[in-house]
Amino acid sequence: MQNRTTQEKKISANIPFDIQLEIIKRVLPIKSLIPFRSVSKQWKFIIDSSEFITDYSFKQAHLLVRYEANYDFKYLSIVDSDDDDDSFSQHKFFDVVSPVVNSGSILDSCHELVCLYRKRLVVLWNPSIKKSVSIPLPQKLTALGFGVCPKTTTRGFGVCPKTNDPKIVMISRSYKIEPITWKAEVFTLSSGSWRSISMNMNLSASTKFKSQQVVIDGVIHWATYAESYSHCDRIITFDLISEEFGEVHLLDSLARRNLSVNKLNKSLVVLNLDEVELTCDAWMMKKNGFEKLFTIDLKEFDGFVSSGIAGFRKNGQPIREHMCEDDGSVEKITLIAYDPSTKLICDLGIYIEFESALFMITSYTESLLLLNNHSDDIIQG
């Protein structure tokens, strides 16, 4: 500690403190920044401050991959940069993940936080600093006849761009009350409590939400479908600032198709899977509507496992699951990045046995959110 303090004094004598602060905010990754909290009380006070946490701007992008190995879930972080040579050599395994994180399914990521969920619990996790908070779902609506199971409940997660406050929204459909009605509640991390909000749009009794969501410009997007018809009929939205529900109007050619939502950098992408022709179209939402990005002919892949796209790299390449053989006999699943223009494939170098659970992928950037929370906090709203 004495050597580090001496070094700090030498630096301080030559560089004004405010300039040191700006340098640290912009060029230090999390791994190098955290030790500065042990240098002095002054540095710890500054780094732990809400202003520094908000202003920290070294935003290294990562792909977060979750998969099953030996009956246990594993998490792998892959650096995803513009100058990546496609070798994907910068892999980082999370050797120790808290049980509450390990048992959840990935919902989405937003503003550097990853959201996972279980039946009655939502977990916000910052992989960069290995801290998480758990939020039990409210029980009030259950007592009133509203469900908390996947068939009757939808969870949404995002960070309000105006306040930088993480929010969880729970949309519940009644199952004991006639006529069927919908209720919504919102949890904010700053308040630590749930509150009811108005459902300002009509949802039919047969509406079902797909579990996947994406956040674009402070708005959560879900694909929905009618219970009697499995194909998507609407994309429902929730504004994290105004806390109002809305809808994205689809092209006629996309209406009532097998759609799912995804995200490419900061844009909404709608994926249209044709299970008859074995093709997958990707459409990006622009200011004036949707623009077709590419079509993947799934028949060109000898060993595809799932028909859709699991995610996107920062450079726009879609990521898919692919089946291969290990030593010519054992079937394994790997992740590949595919370039639709050149049709070149890049193997991400991750392999799991075919019988295991499939990959789940999201993206996140390094941040200090949750730095001042105790690890594995449980917030009783």
Dist. CA 286–CA 293, nearest whole Å: 11
Segment of 66-70, 196-200, 286-290 carrying the highest mean pLDDT: 196-200
Name the more confident of 140 and 81: 81
pLDDT digits (tens, 9 = 90+) for 90-103: 556 665 566 677 77
Q: Do 34 and 70 share a domain, yes or no?
A: no
95 and 149 together in one domain = yes
Indicate if the pLDDT at residue 259 is higher than 50: yes
pLDDT band, very low/low/confident/very high, at 357 (cuts 50, 70, 90) = low
Q: In this predicted structure, what is the pLDDT of residue 1?
A: 46
pLDDT at 17: 81
Give percent above pLDDT 90 in the chain. 27
Looking at residues 314-321, what average pLDDT do you find? 88
Q: How many residues does the chain have?
A: 381
Q: Mind listing the pLDDT tens digit for each residue in 175-197?
A: 766 777 888 999 999 999 999 99
Shared-domain flag, residues 44 and 67: no
Mean pLDDT confidence for 25-42: 88
Task: State mean pLDDT over 125-136.
Answer: 90
For 24, the 3-state DSSP assignment is: helix
**What burial class does residue 107 get, using C-beta atoms within 10 Å of its C-beta: 0-12 exposed, 13-18 middle, 19+ buried?**
buried
Q: Are residues 27 and 63 in the same domain?
A: no
- Same domain for 76 and 44, yes or no, is no
Count of Cβ atoms closer than 10 Å to residue 205 Cβ: 13
Which pLDDT band, with edges at 50, 70 and 90, does 2 fall under?
very low
Do 187 and 207 reside in the same domain of the chain?
Answer: yes
- Please choose, from the candidates 357, 276, 308, 274, the residue with its C-alpha nearest in 3D space to the C-alpha of residue 66: 357
Q: Determine the Cα–Cα distance for residues 185 and 194; give it in Å rounded to an integer.
A: 6
Give the per-residue pLDDT at 93: 62
For 353, residues 6+ apart whose C-beta sits below 8 A from its C-beta are: 69, 330, 331, 332, 333
C-alpha count within 13 angstroms, C-beta hemisphere, residue 59: 15
State the CATH number of the domain containing residue 231.
2.120.10.80
Least confident of 65-79, 219-233, 259-273: 65-79
Distances (CA, A) of 329 to 56, 68, 325, 332: 49, 20, 6, 9
Looking at the predicted structure, is the pLDDT value of residue 147 above 60?
no
Bridge partners, 228 (sequence order):
none
Return the closest-CA partner of residue 250 out of 232, 274, 267: 232
Q: Is the model more confident about 4 or about 379?
A: 379
How many domains does the structure of the chain reveal? 2
Select the highest-mean-pLDDT range: 50-64, 154-168, 227-241, 294-308.
Answer: 154-168
Question: Are residues 68 and 18 both part of a single domain?
Answer: no
47/72 same-domain check:
no
pLDDT at position 330: 58
Residue 24 has pLDDT above 90, yes or no: no
- For residue 141, name the pLDDT band (cuts at 50, 70, 90): low
| Least confident piece of the model among 38-42, 297-301, 326-330 | 326-330
- Percent of the chain at pLDDT above 70? 81
pLDDT of 60 reads 80
User: For all residues of the chain together, what is the average pLDDT?
Assistant: 82
Which range among 85-89, 178-182, 230-234, 333-337 has the greatest average pLDDT?
Answer: 333-337
Same domain, yes or no, for 101 and 6? no
Comparison of pLDDT for 331 and 133, the residue scoring more:
133
User: Do 144 and 249 fall into the same domain?
Assistant: yes
Distance CA 93, CA 80 (A): 15
Domain limits at 243?
Answer: 59-378
Predicted confidence (pLDDT) at residue 74 exceeds the cutoff of 50:
yes
Q: Which of 1-15, 199-213, 292-306 shows the highest mean pLDDT? A: 199-213
Looking at the fold, whether 225 and 311 belong to one and the same domain comes out as yes
Say how far residue 332 (Cα) sits from the centre of its chain. 25
Residue 311 and residue 261 share a domain = yes
State how beta strands 131-136 and 377-378 pair. parallel
Lowest mean pLDDT among 219-228, 262-271, 302-311, 356-365: 302-311
Quote the pLDDT of residue 195: 94
Q: Say if residue 293's pLDDT is above 90.
A: yes
Which of 14-28, 65-79, 235-249 is predicted with the least confidence, judged by mean pLDDT? 65-79
Confidence class of residue 162 from pLDDT cuts 50, 70 and 90? very high
Per-residue model confidence (pLDDT) at position 347? 82
How would residue 10 be classed by pLDDT, with cut points 50, 70 and 90? low
**Predicted local confidence at residue 246, as pLDDT:** 96
> Counting Cβ atoms within 10 Å, is residue 257 exposed (0-12), middle (13-18) or buried (19+)?
middle
User: What tokens were used for 244?
Assistant: 């109002």
The two tokens of residue 281 are 């179209």
